[in-house]
Structure 1
Amino acid sequence: MARFPKPPEGSWTEHYPELGTAPVSYEDSVNPEIYELERTAIFKRAWLNVGRVEQIPRKGSYFTKEVAAVNTSIIVVRTRGDEVKAFHNVCRHRGNKLVWDDMPQEETSGTCRQFTCKYHAWRYNLDGDLTFVQQEGEFFDLDRSRYGLVPVHCEVWEGFIFVNFAKEPEQSLTDFLGPMITDLAGYPFDKMTSRWHYRSEVKANWKLYMDAFQEFYHAPVLHANQTPTAFSKAAAEAGFEAPHYRIQGPHRLVSTSGIRAWELDASMRKPIEDICQSGLFGPWEKPDLGPMPTGLNPARCDPWGLDSFQLFPNFTILFWGQGWYLTYHYWPTSYNTHIFEGTLYFPQARTPRERVGQELAAASFKEYGLQDANTLEATQSMLETRILDKYLLCDQEILIRHLHKETAEWIADYQRTAEKAV
Structure 2
Amino acid sequence: MSGWPKPAEGSWTQHYPDLGTGPISFEDSVSPEFYDLEREAIFKRAWLNVGRVEQLPRTGSYFTKEIRIARTSVIVVRQSDGSVRAFHNICRHRGNKLVWNDFPNEEVAGTCRQFTCKYHGWRYNLDGTLNFVQQEGEFFDLDKDSTGLVPVACDVWAGFVFVNLDPAPRQTLREFLGPMITALDGYPFDKMTEWYEFSADNRSNWKLFADAFQEYYHVPALHTQQVPSAVRKPENGFTCAHFQLDGPHRVTSTAGPRRWTLPAEYMYPIERVTRSGLVGPWQSPELEGEMPPGLNPGKVEPWGIDNFQIFPNIEILIYRGWYLLYRYWPTSYNSHHFEGMLCYQPARTVRERVEHEVSSVVFKEFALQDAGMLNGTQTALEAAYSTAGITEYPLGDQEILVRHFHKTVAEWVDAYRAERVEVRA
| TM-score, normalisation: structure 1 | 0.95
Q: Who is 2:279 aligned against?
A: 281
Displacement of 1:267: 4.3
Q: Which amino acid aligns with 2:185?
A: A
Match of 1:402 among 393, 401, 404: 404
Q: Quote the offset at 1:6 in angstroms.
A: 5.2
Matched with 2:413 is 411
Instruction: Give the corresponding residue for 1:391.
Output: 393
Report what 1:232 is aligned to. 228
Any idea what the Cα deviations from partners look like across 1:69-92, whole Å, max 9, x if unmatched? 111000000012211000000000
The more displaced of 409-418 and 235-244 is 235-244
Q: 139-148 or 192-201: which moved more?
A: 139-148
Question: Which residue in 1 is equivalent to 2:18?
Answer: 18
SS at match of 1:384: helix
One-letter amino acid matched to 1:416: A
Q: Distance in 2 between matches of 1:65 and 1:150?
A: 15
5 Å matches for 1:230-309?
Answer: 231-237=227-233, 238-290=236-288, 291-309=290-308
Shift of the 286–250 alpha-carbon distance from structure 1 to 2, 3 Å rule, reads same
CA contact under 8 A between 1:5 and 1:243: conserved in structure 2?
Answer: no
- AA aligned opposite 2:88: H
Q: How far apart, CA to CA, are the structure 2 residues paired with 1:60 and 1:248?
A: 37
Which residue of 1 is the match for residue 376 of structure 2? Answer: 378
Q: Answer yes or no: is the 8 Å Cα contact 2:253–2:300 preserved in 1.
A: no
Which is further off, 259-268 or 309-318?
A: 259-268
- d(CA) in 2 for partners of 1:403, 1:301: 23
Separation in 1 of the partners of 2:18 and 2:113? 52
Cα deviation 1:398-418 (Å, max 9, x = unaligned): 100001101110011111122
Q: Are residues 240 and 80 of structure 1, via their aligned partners in 2, closer, same or farther at CA, if it must alter by over 3 Å?
A: same
The alignment of Structure 1 onto Structure 2 pairs a total of residues equal to 416
Contact 1:315–1:330 (CA under 8 A) maintained in structure 2: yes
Q: Quick check: 2:125–2:131 contact (8 Å CA) kept in 1? A: yes
In 2 relative to 1, CA 220–41 (structure 1 residues): closer, same or farther, beyond 3 Å?
same
Q: CA deviation at 1:138?
A: 1.2
Code of the aligned partner of 1:53: V
CA–CA distance in structure 1, aligned partners of residues 185 and 351 of structure 2: 30
Separation of aligned partners in 2, 1:243 and 1:370: 25
- Percent sequence identity is 59
Q: Taking structure 1 as reference, are residues 239 and 68 closer, same or farther at Cα in structure 2, changes over 3 Å only?
A: same
Give yes or no for contact 2:10–2:397 (8 Å, CA) kept in 1. Answer: no
Does residue 187 (structure 1) correspond to residue 187 (structure 2)? The answer is: yes
Partner of 1:408, secondary structure, is helix
CA distance in 2 between partners of 1:86 and 1:94 (Å): 20
Bigger drift between 326-335 and 256-265 goes to: 256-265
Residue number among 338, 347, 350 corresponding to 2:336 in the alignment: 338
Secondary structure at the aligned position of 1:365 is classed as: helix
Q: In structure 2, what is the Cα distance between the partners aligned to 1:266 and 1:371?
A: 21
Residue matched to 1:92: 92
The one-character-per-residue Cα deviations of 1:207-262 (angstroms, maximum 9, x if unpaired) are: 000100111111111111x44xxx43133134421111001110011111013221
Q: For residue 214 of structure 2, what is the aligned residue in structure 1?
A: 214
**Which blocks of at least 5 consecutive residues in structure 2 are unaligned?**
none
Query: Which amino acid is 1:146 matched to?
Result: S
* Residues in 1 aligned to 2:26 and 2:315: alpha-carbon distance in whole angstroms: 21
Structure 1: unaligned runs, 5 residues or longer: none
Cα separation, 2, equivalents of 1:408 and 1:163 = 22
Report deviation, 1:263.
1.6
Q: 1:114·1:124 contact (CA, 8 Å) conserved in 2?
A: yes
After superposition, give the CA deviation of every residue in 1:367-404 in whole Å (9 maximum; x if it has no partner): 11111111011000000012221211111111000011
Question: How far apart in 1 are the matches of 2:12 and 2:292?
Answer: 24
* Secondary structure at 1:155 match in 2: strand
1:4–1:242 contact (8 Å) kept in structure 2 = no
Match of 1:328 among 313, 317, 326: 326
Report matched runs for 1:152-171 at 5 Å: 152-171=152-171
Equivalents in 1 of 2:140, 2:192: separation in Å? 52
Query: TM-score, normalised on structure 2?
Result: 0.95
- Cα distance change of structure 1 residues 267 and 409 upon mapping to structure 2, 3 Å threshold: closer
Query: Whole-Å Cα distance in 1 between the matches of residues 281 and 302 of structure 2?
Result: 15
Does the CA contact (< 8 Å) of 1:44 and 1:166 recur in 2? yes
Q: 1:298 Cα deviation (Å)?
A: 2.3
Q: How does 1:47-196 map to 2 (within 5 A)?
A: 47-196=47-196
Contact 1:4 1:243 in 2 (8 A): no
Q: Deviations over 1:133-175 (max 9, x none)?
A: 1111111111211111000000111111111111200111111
